[in-house]
Structure 1
Amino acid sequence: MKKICFLTGDITFGGGAERITISVANLLAKDNDISIITIADFDSARLVYEISPKVKIKSLNIKDWGQKGSIRKHYFSIICLLRNSVKQNEIDILISVQATNMLWILPALAGTKIRNVCWEHINYSSHKSFIYDICIYLAKKKSQKIIVLTERDKMLWNTKKAISISNFPVFNMPCVNIEEKQKLFIAIGRFSPQKAFDRLLDVWELVEKSGKLGDYRLELIGEGEQEFFLRTKIKEKGLQKIEMRPFTNQIEVLYRKASVILMTSLFEGYPMVLIEALQFGIPAVAFDVLTGPAEIILQNKTGFLIEDGNIQEFANAIIKIVNEKNLLEELRGNNLEYRKTFDSESIIKKWNNLFAEIMTV
């Protein structure tokens, strides 16, 4: 049985990368010895997503992980702790969840026979810092394989090491009761510059001012450094039909009652929330950024792709869904049919085939 380990910054964080890491680990644990190393200190009470008892969690116990200066402060400690952990547990393959972890994976594995794989969750074109450039270079030179989420991103990486393995929804074709649906728009994600919720507030302002929203409302679900900024902007704009709520481990309850999901990110990889939402028949409206939404949304069938940055067009799409008779029902029906194409079994097979290939090298 192969010993596979995923390395992540903080597995208790409620983001899409953490969600799919846990989902993949849970399914791989049926045929492999799976563990997750989290750099941050670990408290199971903080977990947002459920982890299989077959998946072992190990922590490097960096207590101020994520704070300014923590990487520089703990760099050598992370390398030493990681090296000791993977050697003691006789790991065969170490998977870097995000390319940035290459900074400590490579020195930690020096002189060992442990294979390493880079699993990137952000599209290639969004890497604009010097540190990311270094991490990408290291991944291309030293990783056995680089997993990206879309075929478009595979081309952008421009290396034979890159392969495309898409995400899959945690929820597998759940029973959907239309009677549970409310007049509710949702947007889910970290309150960070990347997710650009401020653009959504600009959109929502136009929708509210149109007077064509009826009884519909919007809920923003997330946490992050821009929370105060967004709350302030909501007050300044005088928005009435909007609420902000923290991440929840009861996300299924939200999906069951939501009618439409909105996404105004500046960039995406392969957004988990969109493929999860469509499992519940929820159509999406999203800006057509370089990668992500266009790989998931079927234009005018399961939702609407909007020219990136076109605030008025985005608002018009929302107004159209609210006011055009039978449109929402049609979109919802298309999503319930389309969801059959997202199959976790075939995706996990790709992972196992990858491990088999790597172990023969």
Structure 2
Amino acid sequence: MKKLTKWKETLRALLLYPLIRKKTKHIDADILFFFPQYQTGGAERVHLNIMKSVSDRKLTCFITNHSVNSDLREDFSQQAKLINLHRWGWKTSFRKKMTKKLAAEINKIDKPVLFGSNSEFFYDLFPYLKADCVKIDLLHTDLSSFPLSIENYAAPVTHMLTRRVVLGEGHKEKLKEFYLKKDVPLTEIDKICVIPNGISIPDDAPDVKDYSGKMRVLFVGRNSHEKRPEIFVEIAQEASRLKLPFAFQMIGDFDSFSHSKPDNLEIIGKITDVQQLNAYYEKAHFIFITSLFEGFPMVLSEGMAHGVIPVAVDVGEISRDVNEEGRTGFIIPNFSDVDEIVNGFINKMREIDESRATLPNIAANGYKLVEAKFSIDRFRERYRDLLIRQENANNQD
């Protein structure tokens, strides 16, 4: 965040402090959520769906970090009383004061349930919370190798968690190594449960697509470092140079690439309407994932639900479900060298071009996988069971 923006946000937070404190002194909720943003993003949509799983309860949601846009603010506010902490949630000196004050208010609630994800503020509360407070977190992906990751930040208070949620067994296994390294008792592994992300799935399998002509490739996401959109642009450039029969589209805030993109790449822009996004999925043949790290991205399962075949770097939980052995998609080794990653995609595209007859079956298998594992109904049932069970268990103590 630029210095001028920080200064403005600090001034705004100071002016809003009386209102924020007034809101935090009147918390009437069964479950309290702590999420960093309400901007456009897969993680934010997951957070929204978690709140929807317990929409019949009294909910309060604290936004603890800066949102680059307000695209999902209204959706969040429809599910819970929304309290934006502004810089009181992320500026270190401000956060220390606010966590103590907010913890004192939370401690007035009878056996509260707190759920957080990607929020340092959430973990800062732990030392000040009373013993009967249920604390559950969600880790979207394994970032334990990064010193400034949320796992490393939370390590000193991990033993205070009641439960921890991850997206797959691979992440759970990696946490065992991380706990050993950080001297977190291995008994804490027993607190981890696996809940894959869920999406709305069409009732009927998608129609078989026409693979005879130029095939359409999607990139869907935000313009951020970890998504590595520049690699997708390089893939399109190399495919154009080699005259490969693929057309490329980017959906998201990628205007910065408009002057360097090749002719075979179309920048669609940001889409917030679900039906409009689904229309692009229905016309696409492939979706590419070039991320530096992921859990299991929602755009992957969304695409597969509409007959889109994934081609993804081997990060996170992806290759456990998307792979050539299971005939559900294609995996590219996550090389340390970007040129090798680009070449990996290009070589795979050549293979795909020469084996088009196999593609309808791969697309059909992708739909079956999503239907069996990533349904929104199953997702909400599992989160509701987790949150309500912990609440009920706490009330019986």
TM-score by length of 2: 0.74
2:172 paired residue number = 154
Deviates more, 1:312-321 or 1:44-53: 44-53
Distance (whole Å) between structure 1 residues aligned to residue 58 and residue 167 of structure 2:
24
Change (3 A) 1:50 1:130: closer
* Residue in 2 that maps onto 1:56: 80
Mapped to 2, the partners of 1:199 and 1:45 lie a distance apart of: 28
Query: What letter matches 1:271 in structure 2?
Result: P
Structure 2 CA distance for aligned equivalents of residues 45 and 308 of structure 1: 33
What residue is the counterpart of 1:8 in the other structure?
A: 35
* Count of residues paired in the alignment: 341
1:280 aligns with 306
Structure 1 residue aligned with 2:136: 117
Matches within 5 A, 1:219-258: 219-223=249-253, 228=256, 231=257, 235=260, 239-250=262-273, 251-258=277-284
Deviation, 1:49, is 8.5
> Which of the residues 156, 159, 176 maps onto 1:141?
159
Closer, same or farther: CA 128–40 of 1 in aligned 2, 3 Å: closer
Residues 323 and 121 of structure 1: is their aligned pair in 2 closer, same or farther, counting only changes over 3 Å?
same
Kindly indicate whether the alpha-carbon contact (under 8 Å) linking 2:208 and 2:360 is maintained by their aligned counterparts in 1. Answer: no
Pick the aligned partner of 2:196 from 141, 166, 170: 166
Mapped to 2, the partners of 1:85 and 1:222 lie a distance apart of: 39
- Determine which of 31, 38, 52 is the counterpart of 2:63: 38
Q: Distance in 2 between matches of 1:271 and 1:305?
A: 14
Residue in structure 1 matched with residue 393 of structure 2 by the alignment: 360
Q: Deviation at 1:248?
A: 1.7
In structure 2, what is the equivalent of residue 18 of structure 1? 44
Q: Which residue of 2 aligns with 1:27?
A: 53
CA distance in 2, matches of 1:207, 1:335: 25
Q: Percent same amino acid among aligned pairs?
A: 18
Shift of 1:38: 1.9
The residue matched to 1:167 in structure 2 has which SS? coil
Instruction: State the distance in 2 between where 1:42 and 1:313 align.
Output: 35
**Bigger CA drift: 308-317 or 56-65?**
56-65
Cα deviation for residue 358 of structure 1 reads: 6.1
Please name the residue that 2:233 is paired with: 201
**What is the deviation of 1:10?**
1.2
Q: Is the 8 A contact 2:88 2:95 kept in 1?
A: no
The 5-angstrom pairing of residues 53-92 of structure 1 reads 53=78, 55-62=79-86, 70-72=90-92, 74-76=94-96, 78-79=98-99, 82-83=102-103, 86=106, 92=112
**How many angstroms apart in 1 are the aligned matches of 2:108 and 2:249?**
46
Cα separation, 2, equivalents of 1:72 and 1:60: 16
Q: How many Å separate the matches in 1 of 2:150 and 2:223?
A: 23
C-alpha distance in structure 2 between counterparts of 1:127 and 1:166, whole Å: 23
SS at match of 2:91: helix
- Which AA in structure 1 matches 2:393? T
TM-aligned CA distance change 1:307 to 1:179, over 3 Å: closer
Rounded to whole Å, the distance in 1 between the matches of 2:298 and 2:74 is 13
Deviations 1:301-347, CA, capped at 9 Å, x for gaps: 12101111232221122233345332332322222333321233333
Mapped partners of 2:345, 2:250: distance in 1: 17
* 2:361 paired residue number: 330
- Which digits, 9 at most, give the CA deviation of each residue in 1:252-311, with x for residues without a partner? 23222222100011111121111111111111000112x221133132612101111232
Which residue in 1 is equivalent to 2:113? 93
More off after superposition, 330-339 vs 83-92: 83-92
Measured in 1, the distance between the counterparts of 2:134 and 2:42 equals 25
C-alpha distance in 1, partners of 2:53/2:102?
Answer: 24
2:305 partner letter: Q
Which structure carries more helix by proportion?
2
Q: Does the CA-based 8 Å contact 1:60-1:78 persist in structure 2? A: no
| Equivalent residues of 2:107, 2:130 under 8 A apart | no
Change (3 A) 1:321 1:85: farther
Deviation at 1:137, TM superposition (A): 3.1
2-structure distance, mates of 1:256, 1:48: 28
Preserved contact between residue 97 and residue 118 of structure 1 (Cα < 8 Å): yes
**Contact kept? 2:36, 2:118, Cα under 8 Å:** no
Q: Decide whether the 8 Å contact of 1:48 with 1:249 is kept in 2.
A: no
Mark the runs of 5 or more structure 2 residues left unpaired by the alignment: 1-28, 177-188, 336-340
Structure 1 counterpart of 2:96, one-letter code? F
Offset of 1:120 from its aligned partner? 0.9
Q: 1:274 to 1:336 in 2, by over 3 A?
A: same
**Aligned-partner SS, 2:136:** strand
Stretches of structure 1 that go unaligned for 5 or more consecutive residues are: none
Is the contact made by 1:60 and 1:82 (CA closer than 8 Å) also made in structure 2? no
Q: CA 1:128–1:245 in 2, change beyond 3 Å: closer, same or farther?
A: farther
- Give the Cα–Cα distance (whole angstroms) in 1 for the partners of residues 82 and 100 of structure 2: 14
Instruction: Indicate conservation of the 8 Å contact 2:307/2:366, yes or no.
Output: yes
Q: Post-superposition shift, 1:196? A: 1.6
Distance 1:77 1:172, change over 3 A: farther
